[in-house]
Structure 1
Amino acid sequence: MTTLPDRPNAALLVVDVQNGVMEGAPRRDEVIANVGTLVEKARAENIAVVWVQHSDDELKPGSEPWQYVPELVRRQGEPLIPKSYGDSFEATDLEAVLAERGVGRIVVAGAQTDACIRSTIHGGFVRGYDVTLVGDAHTTEDLTAYGAPAPESVTAHTNLYWRYQSAPGRTASVVDTANVTFAGQPEGSA
């Protein structure tokens, strides 16, 4: 269980599902649909949905690439965490937002697998959170031209190694969208 005292709640982190990030991403529509399913499930269970939005030279605040994809709409009152580093916790108020809501377990979905998703799941884990990665609700761009593995291999490898992460007093897990539970421990593996 989480090493954070008095934090029995879960939250869904929707990381960087922005136009410029998702453009051309493998399984774009499937991943966005799965994230949408997670958002609706979390809302139905009164679970915090926390939106994370990256900005940098290519994702300038207010620009079309910076905007969240039109398929996903943040509701009034759902926190929006602006960030400029890969780890959604780094130099943001994410930790304060989660503490205020008594969150000790985060369920993570979004993009990009090999950058902001990996940074965020590790960032949460080292800060004491139980971290569930939604195996079929994250993707990344094709960087094979720069020597990276194919996107499908990046997501598969991330799902594989995260399933076996361990640390005292915390859990790491990978589940598919259909098996995500927000109360208690996750069910099933991806």
Structure 2
Amino acid sequence: MSTLEGRDRTALLVVDVQNDVMAEADDAEAVVGRIAGLVDRARAQDVPVVWVQHSDEGLVHGGDGWQIVPALVPADGDPRVEKLHGDSFEGTDLEGVLAGLGVGRLVVAGAESDACIRSTIHGAFARGYDTILVGDAHTSGDKTAWGAPTPAQVAAHMNLYWSFQSAPGKTAGVVEADDVVFG
């Protein structure tokens, strides 16, 4: 039901599940395991898996920390998008990649909940995509030293407010990994 005409496919968007990001992430092993299960299910159903990788001063492009975690291996032909901003659409070719695949619905998982995931789901929704956040497949590092809630509270808040997101002609929602329907 997205507002993107003629784009009825779904894609799994895996955001910033990179070595250095996940090294500091809460419940990283379980989150990566759930993402791996989503990737396997998406591939089995011929659903595109699109990988996003962030780089900045602390996450150097091409370095070991920038690489996707070893438990998740992009397949040959899986689109990869490199970004410099929180929103995976800003300054990237993500929109063109998705348009080329006929995608109007995104299932989003990855890190960090309170930064790149939040920016990306808002960016997708504002651009007309039906946007599903996988509620148990996003995470963040602990930023309580700077006054932020715990990572678990951040994830819970993200899931709460995204489950009530709405706009004409498109849908948003939160679904647990085991309950994701790609078709």
Q: So what's the TM-score if we normalise by structure 1?
A: 0.95
Which position in structure 2 is the counterpart of 1:29?
29
% identity of equivalent residues: 60
SS of alignment partner, residue 65 of structure 1:
helix
Which position in structure 1 is the counterpart of 2:90?
90
Whether 1:61 aligns to 2:61 is: yes
Q: So what's the TM-score if we normalise by structure 2?
A: 0.99
SS of alignment partner, residue 40 of structure 1:
helix
Residue 24 (structure 1) shift: 2.6
Whether 1:133 aligns to 2:133 is: yes
Which position in structure 1 is the counterpart of 2:19?
19
Q: Is the 8 A contact 2:51 2:78 kept in 1?
A: yes
* Corresponding pairs, count: 183
State the distance in 2 between where 1:83 and 1:26 align: 23
Residues 1-190 of structure 1 aligned to structure 2 (within 5 Å) = 1-183=1-183
Q: Deviations over 1:122-141 (max 9, x none)?
A: 00000000000000000000
State the distance in 1 between where 2:63 and 2:96 align: 27
Residue 77 (structure 1) shift: 0.3
Residue 25 (structure 1) shift: 1.2
My pick for the range that moved more, 20-29 or 37-46, is 20-29
Q: Deviations over 1:52-86 (max 9, x none)?
A: 00000011012111111110000110000000000
Superposed CA RMSD in Å reads 0.5
Q: Which runs of 4+ in 1 moved over 4 A?
A: none
State the distance in 2 between where 1:19 and 1:168 align: 38
- Specify every segment of 5 or more residues in structure 2 that has no aligned partner in the other structure, as ranges: none
**Which amino acid in the other structure matches residue 50 of structure 1?**
V
Q: Deviations over 1:136-171 (max 9, x none)?
A: 000000000001011100000000000000000010
**Which amino acid in the other structure matches residue 63 of structure 2?**
S
- Specify every segment of 5 or more residues in structure 1 that has no aligned partner in the other structure, as ranges: 184-190
State the distance in 2 between where 1:24 and 1:141 align: 5
Residue 108 (structure 1) shift: 0.1
